[in-house]
Amino acid sequence: MTNLQFIVVILLASLEIGGVYLAYEALHPYRYLARNEKTGRVVYVPPIVAEIENARRLRAEGKLAEAQKLLRNQLRLHGRRPEAKAARELLGEINTEMFFSTDVPFGKTEYVVKRGDSLWRIARKLGSSPSVIVRTNNMESDLIRPGERLFVPDGDFTLTLDLPDERAVIHHGEGFFKQYPIVSINLPHPIRTPITTKIKASAFWKDGTKLNDPSPTEQAASTPWLHLAFGGCILYGVSDEEGVSESAIEISDKGIDVPRRPDIPPLGIALLKEDLEELQLLIDRGTPVTIIGTRL
């Protein structure tokens, strides 16, 4: 190869590399968003970060459906990035707000109460739950009257207990709805492979006492247990003050003799009380549950 040919090859290679770089810059419009004040260097900011802020702005403007669509698209494109956690948390808040709002009719049936109807009958007919109907319509009691109009959300939910990542993830239909942190895990043996089960029953506790046949409004003011059809496992709630290390289960594991509280089951998975109370509104007896193996 002559010197002239060598120079031509170098020039062509430089032009090709420069074209690729310009195309890369054109396809990444968010590179200008962060600048180090000391060095003046431009730092790459992932598109999902800017779009999360856009979603917050849309939510503040009351454009919930637009914010929801934006976040779903970002999670589809960038769901494996670390920033996706914040996007899921915001999407969960927006989904919940839309689900329980009568101002946002998406996924709801407007039902006119007929003579002889009850909340249980309406919920069963439309695939919802009485407690969801109570909260959605801001009802102060369980009484309904013929001619009254109710918004009834669709209750097509499934639950995944992701033990390695310590989170309970709920899906509505085939899409992500919301996730809650798991506070404590106390199971008799490790789970090596995913287990498919369901919600078998619910129980409700208030001030350490189990309620017998509570009404939907009483359920809303109590703390639930969700019994799984798997090895006697129960989803239960703990408060922020109790924490993981202060629960009766954790203390007993250390060999300290303390009275076991009746509202803390011997086996189970703990969530924060407020999270479990909301979760109980969304899922009911028969809801499919998948348990993903634990590190234990």
pLDDT digits (tens, 9 = 90+) for 114-137: 999 999 999 989 988 888 899 899
The rounded percent of the chain whose pLDDT value lies above 90 is: 43
Per-residue pLDDT tens digits for 227-279: 999 877 899 988 876 554 444 334 334 444 445 677 788 789 999 989 998 89
Contacts 24+ apart (CB under 8 A), 292-295: 292/160, 292/161, 292/162, 292/163, 292/164, 292/191, 292/194, 293/163, 293/164, 293/190, 293/191, 293/192, 293/193, 293/194, 294/163, 294/164, 294/185, 294/187, 294/190, 294/191, 295/163, 295/164, 295/190
Mean pLDDT in the chain? 81
Q: Where are the domains of the chain?
A: 3-35, 46-99, 108-153, 157-292
Task: Describe the chain by its helix, strand, coil percentages, rounded to 5.
Answer: 35, 25, 40
CB atoms under 10 Å from CB of 206, counted, come to 14
157-292: CATH topology is L,D-transpeptidase catalytic domain-like (2.40.440)
Query: Which range (33-47, 54-68, 201-215) has the least confidence?
Result: 33-47
Find out if CATH 3.10.350.10 is the number for domain 108-153: yes
Residue 30 to residue 227: CA distance in whole angstroms: 47
The predicted structure's pLDDT at residue 291: 94
- Highest mean pLDDT, choosing among 27-41, 43-57, 204-218: 43-57
Query: Which range (28-42, 208-222, 226-240, 278-292) has the least confidence?
Result: 28-42
pTM: 0.74
